Amino acid sequence: MTGSFPAARPRRNRKSAIIRDFVRETALSARRFVYPLFIREAEGTEAIASMPGVSRLGPEAVLSEVEAARGDGIGTVILFPLVPESRKTPRGDEAVNPEGLVPGTVRRLKARWPDLVVCTDVALDPYNSDGHDGVVAPDGTILNDETVEVLCRQAVIQAGAGADIIAPSDMMDGRIGAIRASLDGAGHSGVSILAYTAKFASAFYGPFRDALDSAPKSGDKKTYQMDPSNVREALRELRLDEAEGADIVMVKPAGPYLDVIRALREQTTLPVAAYQVSGEYAMLKAAAQLGWLHERRAVLESLTAIRRAGADMILTYYARQAARWLAEEQA
Ligand code: PBG
């Protein structure tokens, strides 16, 4: 009879904060957060209109932001560069400049904090005059194998600068294996690959493209990023990325794709990451600013849901703020 009402009363396990604490199934921790940073060449900071509270950071500002984030308990950052329009080219040449903004910033961060885990994004869109993640042919096709070649060089340069984790976000076929081979060939067998395994062609990247001025000049990203309707296809990408040597597999966006996170979690022994993207941040922030949502509760709930779905780690623009809220709860 314990299996049904009135003997069974699930509310007994919710009757006090202490009991709720010990029956809680999912815990959030700052150790699970990865903090994305937008970097630029000019000193100072510049606000991003569609991401209130997030700025593009100049060389000095990056250091102070990372120092503050470490103070909040964040151990990992991922870098996204704002490249001046004048340096964007059809082949994204700036992506393979060893003296470029990303390698330079990695070197400065690792020199100051050797234990900081630095992730770098591998894709051409911040560098490409077309705003696409790959090399664009005259007829508008995104060239797969030509792009992978550039991505491999980009990854080796980032690893050479000291990046701990290389994160290809481009969705070209075969890039995980090719990048793994290039890294190993260049003596970087200890550098990890965080694969954007199931990256969807999402409207939720809008504010990010504002931040980096990287929106595609023509067309969309649907010939390489995944159709939001598909989950079996995500498992196919998972098998390929596993076979090609990914260390961590990622789903992106996070909140609208919890079922995909769960599907990957059930089908792989690898760690699963999820990216709470710019549009998810912007929605929470906007509603909070209008007084329509309680920011702290809504943000922590959204992050808890992503963890509950099966993500081991979460990339989120709320990393610092959430870490501080969690610390307050513990105090
Ligand atoms: C591009 C890239 C994007 C994001 C991360 N890497 C945008 C895109 O694919 O257009 C989006 C992240 C976010 O929205 O927060 N390679």
Ligand 1 contacts CB of residue 208 (under 6 A): yes
DSSP string of 109-162? HHHH-TTSEEEEEE-STTTBTT--SSEEPTTSPEEHHHHHHHHHHHHHHHHHHT
Q: Quick check: is 19 in a domain?
A: no
Q: Quick check: is 22 in a domain?
A: no
User: The domain spanning residue 325 has which CATH number?
Assistant: 3.20.20.70
Residue 186, sorted as left (phi over 0), alpha (psi -120 to 50) or beta, turns out to be: alpha
Q: Quick check: is 21 in a domain?
A: no
**pLDDT at 1 (0 to 100):** 52
Residue closest by Cα to atom 10 of ligand 1: 205
Short-list 83, 120, 72, 48, CA closest to 278: 48
Distance 214 CA to ligand 1 centre (A): 9
Q: Which atom of ligand 1 is nearest to the CA of 215?
A: 10
Ligand 1 contacts CB of residue 278 (under 6 A): yes
Known catalytic membership, residue 252: yes
Residue 310, sorted as left (phi over 0), alpha (psi -120 to 50) or beta, turns out to be: left
Of the CA atoms within 13 Å of residue 302, those in its CB half-sphere come to: 27
pLDDT digits (tens, 9 = 90+) for 139-193: 999 999 999 999 999 999 999 999 999 999 999 999 999 999 999 999 999 999 9
Q: Quick check: is 56 in a domain?
A: yes
Residue 53: in which H helix or E strand, if any?
Answer: none
Q: Quick check: is 278 in a domain?
A: yes
What residues make up the domain containing 163?
27-330
Ligand 1 contacts CB of residue 244 (under 6 A): no
Residue 73: is it exposed, middle or buried by C-beta count within 10 angstroms (0-12/13-18/19+)?
middle
Rounded to 5 degrees, φ, ψ at 294 are -80, 110
**Token pair listed for 104:** 């330079």
CB 268 within 8 A of CB 235: no
**What is the number of structural domains in the chain?**
1
Ligand 1 contacts CB of residue 254 (under 6 A): no
Which of 119, 208, 212 maximizes ligand 1 atoms within 8 Å of its Cβ, making it the mutation to test the pocket?
Answer: 208
| Selected catalytic residue, list 88, 199, 221, 285 | 199
**pLDDT at 330 (0 to 100):** 83
| Selected catalytic residue, list 88, 221, 252, 285 | 252
Q: Quick check: is 118 in a domain?
A: yes
Calpha distance 121→151 (Å, rounded): 10
Ligand 1 contacts CB of residue 277 (under 6 A): yes
Known catalytic membership, residue 285: no
pLDDT digits (tens, 9 = 90+) for 288-331: 999 999 999 999 999 999 999 999 999 999 999 999 999 998 87
Ligand 1 contacts CB of residue 121 (under 6 A): yes
Q: Which atom of ligand 1 is nearest to the CA of 279?
A: 14
Which of 37, 169, 221 maximizes ligand 1 atoms within 8 Å of its Cβ, making it the mutation to test the pocket?
Answer: 169
Q: Which atom of ligand 1 is nearest to the CA of 169?
A: 16
Ligand 1 contacts CB of residue 206 (under 6 A): no
Tokens 């696409």 locate to: 132
Which of 175, 205, 278 maximizes ligand 1 atoms within 8 Å of its Cβ, making it the mutation to test the pocket?
Answer: 205
Short-list 250, 242, 246, CA closest to 199: 250
Ligand 1 contacts CB of residue 169 (under 6 A): yes
Query: What percent of the residues of the chain are helix, what percent strand, and what percent coil, each to the nearest 5?
Result: 45, 20, 35
CB 197 within 8 A of CB 176: no
Q: Quick check: is 299 in a domain?
A: yes
Q: Quick check: is 2 in a domain?
A: no
Calpha distance 207→53 (Å, rounded): 12
Which portions of the chain are predicted below pLDDT 70? Answer: 1-2
